[in-house]
């Protein structure tokens, strides 16, 4: 039977459930250009209004996965695992998590992205490292995973090409925030990487795309149920993003933060709590650890012995970076010409901040993009960001601005003082791990 795009669009517009074969045919036409942009836009809007049931989302995800290459890791004995975050500010978890779990016995072929909106991009951070190739050949990608245990790269033209076209059209038709389309977009790329297990980080708060818990749980449940329905064992953690996660936000400054973490210098932080929770979850989901305690112990051992740092260095060198990068990062990471302290204007406690505004200020400094083809300044951003609840004395630094010039640094310092509120009382503590989604159950 010939696929008629407008008939599929009409049925979805009217709220009908689409057959698997119809979805597969539509995605095939999406990938090869047989379906017009207008028809793709109409389909996306129909899904936005009418939604999709679980079977439809699974079918859409698998069809988009199968629109390009699907990687196979038959030559690697280790469990194939990955993690994905919906994005935040100072969220450099992937940089440390991949080498930590690789040192514990997982193989992590991580397909990451650039910054989106106010959120930082893992690829932008890695490009702070001279020579690091985010688009290696398939052979080098495989070699790096085999030898280092992990490789963090960008999406290639051959992985889920239908998603690239659909996402570009969603971006200009106000349909980005459709849970079925978000789910299929995220998972089609992850499943194309040939994963056996996946752990998802769904952020909530003023620095996240999903601000409230209810909408975060809806997205997390969709992602987990669809991924499991597609044959990949998957869980999700919902985590707090009401303040920057790391004490740095930017690109080179977050690579420095990553190395400090892998050297064991970030113990007791919210960042450590998130990284260790995801390490334990990945190790349990893949079958290496039997409990959260065992998983956490394995991850801590990888840090304490230096094995995780060594894996990171091995990955960097395999993908074109300096052989001695982890030993001599200061010789390679670019420094901003102006570094300015943001001093507390009064005594008190850091009570609140708008994490999204911190991310937007990194973009204003040049550390992010306002257009897809815009170059970024890897030098700029913030370091030494104090966590909420910190007791400060007047004149004590809240953070340090890294800027290309004095005027930019001064403007950013003034803006950061508007973003952070200081008061007489400490704010209530918030758990950084809010809840877990596993199958159809959510546990707090």
291 catalytic per annotation:
no
Contact status, residue 344 vs residue 396, Cβ threshold 8 Å? yes
Distance CA 88, CA 208 (A): 5
Distance CA 320, CA 125 (A): 15
32 is catalytic: no
CA–CA dist 54, 50 (Å, integer) = 13
Could you tell me if 405 and 337 are in contact, meaning their C-beta atoms sit under 8 angstroms apart? yes
61, 67, 78, 85: which is the annotated catalytic residue?
85
**Cβ contacts of 103 within 8 Å, gap of 6 or more:** 149, 302, 307, 308, 310, 311
The answer to whether 189 is a known catalytic residue is: yes
* 185 flagged as catalytic: yes
Catalytic-labelled residue, pool 118, 125, 190, 379: 190
* Longest Cα–Cα distance in the chain: 74
Catalytic residue among 84, 114, 379, 413: 84
Query: DSSP string spanning 289-346?
Result: -SSHHHHHHHHHHHHHTTHHHHHHHHHHHHTTS-TTTTT-GGGTS---SEEEEEE-SS
Q: How far apart are CA 424 and CA 426, in angstroms?
A: 7
Alpha carbon 176 to its chain's center: 17
Instruction: Find the catalytic residue in 94, 122, 235, 318.
Output: 122
Q: Which of 12, 22, 66, 83 is catalytic?
A: 83
Tokens of 23: 């979805």
Catalytic residue among 185, 234, 286, 383: 185
**Active site (annotated) includes residue 394:** no
- The whole-angstrom distance between residue 78's C-alpha and the CA centroid of its chain comes to 23
* DSSP-assigned letter for residue 285: H
CA distance 432 to 418: 24
Alpha carbon distance 47, 43 (integer Å): 6
State yes or no: is 197 an active-site residue.
no
The reply to whether 270 belongs to the active site is: no
Q: Is 83 a catalytic residue?
A: yes
DSSP state of 224: H
End-to-end Cα separation, the chain, in angstroms: 48
Residue 269's Cβ-count burial label (10 Å; 0-12, 13-18, 19+) is middle
Q: Is 67 a catalytic site residue?
A: no
Active-site hit among 82, 133, 201, 377: 82
Options 114, 165, 189, 270, the catalytic residue: 189
Query: What are the respective helix, strand and coil percentages of the chain, to the nearest 5?
Result: 45, 15, 40
Q: Which residues contact 256 (CB under 8 A, 6 or more apart)?
A: 248, 329, 333, 383
Residues in contact with 139: Cβ distance below 8 Å, sequence separation at least 6, in sequence order:
none
Query: Would you name the residues annotated as active-site residues?
Result: 82-85, 122, 170, 185, 189-190
């Amino acid at each position: 039977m010939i696929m008629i795009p407008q008939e599929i669009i009409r049925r979805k517009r009217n709220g009908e459930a689409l057959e698997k074969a119809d979805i597969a045919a539509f995605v095939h036409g999406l990938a090869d250009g047989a379906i017009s942009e207008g028809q793709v836009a109409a389909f996306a809007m129909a899904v936005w209004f009418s939604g999709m049931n679980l079977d439809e989302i699974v079918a859409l995800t698998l069809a988009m996965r199968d629109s390009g290459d699907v990687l196979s890791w038959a030559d690697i004995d280790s469990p194939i695992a990955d993690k994905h975050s919906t994005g935040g500010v100072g969220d450099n978890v992937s940089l440390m998590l991949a080498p930590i779990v690789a040192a514990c016995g997982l193989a992590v072929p991580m397909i990451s992205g650039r910054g989106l909106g106010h959120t930082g991009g893992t690829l932008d951070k890695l490009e702070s490292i001279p020579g690091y190739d985010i688009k290696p050949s398939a052979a080098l990608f495989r070699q790096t995973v085999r030898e280092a245990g992990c490789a963090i790269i960008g999406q290639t033209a051959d992985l889920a090409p239908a998603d690239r076209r659909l996402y570009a059209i969603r971006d200009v038709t106000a349909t980005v925030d459709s849970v079925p389309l978000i789910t299929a977009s995220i998972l089609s790329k992850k499943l194309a990487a040939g994963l056996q297990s996946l752990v998802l980080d769904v952020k909530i708060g003023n620095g996240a795309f999903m601000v409230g818990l209810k909408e975060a749980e809806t997205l997390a449940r969709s992602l987990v149920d669809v991924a499991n329905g597609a044959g990949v064992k998957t869980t999700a953690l919902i985590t707090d993003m009401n303040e920057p996660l790391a004490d740095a936000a930017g690109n080179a400054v977050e690579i420095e933060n990553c190395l400090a973490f892998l050297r064991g210098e970030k113990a007791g932080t919210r960042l450590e709590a998130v990284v260790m929770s995801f390490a334990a979850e990945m190790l349990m989901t893949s079958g290496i650890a039997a409990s959260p305690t065992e998983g956490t112990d394995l991850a801590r051992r990888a840090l304490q012995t230096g094995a995780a740092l060594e894996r990171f260095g091995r990955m960097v060198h395999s993908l074109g970076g300096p052989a001695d990068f982890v030993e001599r990062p200061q010789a390679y990471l670019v420094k901003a010409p102006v570094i300015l302290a943001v001093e507390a204007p009064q005594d008190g406690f850091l009570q609140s901040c708008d994490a999204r505004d911190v991310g937007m200020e990194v973009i204003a400094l040049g550390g992010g993009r306002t257009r897809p083809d815009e170059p970024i300044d890897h030098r700029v951003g913030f370091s030494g960001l104090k966590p909420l609840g910190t007791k400060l004395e007047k004149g004590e630094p809240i953070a340090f601005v890294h800027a290309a010039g004095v005027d930019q640094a001064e403007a950013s310092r003034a803006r950061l003082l508007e973003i952070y509120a200081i008061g007489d009382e400490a704010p209530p503590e918030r758990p950084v791990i809010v809840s877990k989604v596993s199958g159809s159950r959510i546990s707090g």
